[in-house]
Copies of this chain bind each other. A is one copy, B any other.
Amino acid sequence: MTSYPPVQPGGSLMIAWQVKGKNVLVVGGGEVAAGRILHALNADANVTVISPSPLNQEVAHRVSQGEVRHVNRKFNPDDLTGASEIIADGGEIDMVLTAIDDPKESVAIWHQCKELRIPVNVADVPEHCDFYFGSVYRDGPLQVMVSTNGNGPKMANLVKKRIQEALPEKTGAAINNVGLLRGQLRKIASTPEEGPKRMRWYAHPVHNYLSID
């Protein structure tokens, strides 16, 4: 009898969300907002932060560098519905990340996002989140996210550090090269029947690089 991987309940659906060119609205301008903004920028989103000045220094720096658009006032519900200048260009808000100290307002934003079906993360209110963030290790095209499913960001950071130590330097560069190689091989050996041949060609250098046999 064949056996199949057992279900291991209690986890999250770990996914790589695509926000390239999408409008991400960050509500709040403090330290948590700074982290959210960096996550979104690393994924090529158009980021707008809405918060009255003064902003956290990192956020202010990104605004001054033109990396992030800043709307210098408090959030109001019209901001999500097309009635405000935030989406004046005819676009729409594709994702909302709130990082404010006002639980009542946070919950109100959550409900509005749910009504509009906008994916939303409400910092510090886990029950009002479509998704959570984790600790992310990055090396070029490689991204590794560690989630402890609510058992503490400190643990996630420790695990991330272990992963960072364990992966060879330039793993990201190697992955880039494999990606290029795959593209080339796909042109040379493009039929499905040639797939296994392609796999053998590029598997060897990769195995050597990562010292796995």
Contact = CB atoms under 8 A, between A and B. Distances in A.
Interface in A42-87: 42-45, 57-58, 61-62, 67
Q: Number of copies of this chain in the oligomer?
A: 2
Contacts of A5: 38
A108 interface: no
Interface residues of A, number: 80
A53 B58 CA distance: 55
Nearest to A41: B7
Interface string A146-175: 111111101100110111011100010011
A151 B182 contact: yes
Contact of A152 (B13, B121, B150, B179): B179
A142 interface: yes
A142 B152 contact: no
Interface in A121-145: 121, 129-134, 136, 138, 140-145
Contacts of A166: 162-163, 165-166
A191 interface: no
Return the 6 tightest CB-CB contacts between A and B, nearest first.
A166-B166, A151-B179, A12-B16, A117-B117, A14-B145, A15-B131
